[in-house]
Amino acid sequence: MCLAMPARIISLLENETAIINLGGVEKQISLALLDTEISIGDYVVVHVGYALTRLDEVQAQQTLALFAQMQSAKEETK
């Protein structure tokens, strides 16, 4: 369940709100649920107008690197 998308923070506003950008679409969302500091350029996971968490970009890169690693390992065995 729960449609949520990673989107980039492009500006921080008053009252724990911010503007996100997803593929050029901009929307105002609430940061009221976040327990971490947020800065412009961070990615957050957005659901029903709220950021649920900051996306951990290091972890995201690690997951993608793991895929790449699996692929190169596979190519070597060919």
Q: Footprint of another protein on this chain (CB under 8 A)?
A: 1-8, 22-27, 30, 32-35, 43, 45-50, 52-53, 55-57, 59-60, 62-64, 66-67, 70-71, 74
Judged by beta carbon, residue 1 or residue 39, the one nearer another protein is: 1
**Least separation, in Å, of the C-beta of 13 and another protein?**
13
**Least separation, in Å, of the C-beta of 34 and another protein?**
7
65's tokens = 């690197």
Judged by beta carbon, residue 13 or residue 62, the one nearer another protein is: 62
**Least separation, in Å, of the C-beta of 69 and another protein?**
11
Q: b/e string for 53-78 if b means 16 or more Cβ within 10 A?
A: bbeeeeeeeeeeeeeeeeeeeeeeee
Rounded to whole angstroms, the Cα distance separating 6 from 44 reads 5
Beta bridge partners of 10: none
